[in-house]
């Protein structure tokens, strides 16, 4: 069963990200991007595995310009990590769920 990523827009970004009680990971993507589709599939697995310990969002950079511009995103896909409403850093190693998980500040049960 696929867990679709919740979309976020420039308009609701502050409300959603600042209101989250857990860290937020945002994928910036655009339609037609093969690497974006592959990353989305891995993030859906990650979201399923982590349940409520991480909020994973997706922002279409073709439809939303403000937040990608503020973060100076120049290539897609890009992953940005927020904690307590504040930008922390970009997550590198775009690829497999396990590689992304290693870079997240989550308490291990």
Place of tokens 């970004």: 13
Q: In what order do the strands lie in the sheet with 86-90?
A: 6-7, 55-60, 24-29, 78-83, 86-90
Told to judge if 36 belongs to the known catalytic residues of this protein, a careful annotator would answer yes
Measured distance CA(76)–CA(80) in Å, rounded: 12
Place of tokens 């927020």: 82
| From 8, 17, 25, 36, active-site residue | 36
| From 33, 38, 71, 73, active-site residue | 33
Told to judge if 69 belongs to the known catalytic residues of this protein, a careful annotator would answer no
Q: Report, as residue numbers or ranges, the catalytic residues.
A: 33, 36
């Amino acid at each position: 069963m696929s867990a679709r990523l919740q979309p976020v827009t420039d308009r609701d970004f502050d409300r959603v990200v600042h209101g989250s009680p857990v860290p937020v990971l945002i994928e910036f993507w655009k339609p037609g991007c093969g690497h974006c589709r592959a990353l989305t599939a891995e993030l859906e697995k990650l979201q399923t595995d982590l349940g409520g310990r991480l909020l994973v969002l997706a922002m279409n950079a073709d439809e939303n310009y403000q937040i990608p511009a503020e973060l100076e995103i120049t290539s897609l896909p890009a992953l940005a990590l927020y904690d307590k409403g504040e930008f922390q850093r970009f997550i590198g190693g775009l690829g497999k769920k396990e590689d992304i998980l290693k870079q997240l500040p989550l308490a291990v049960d």
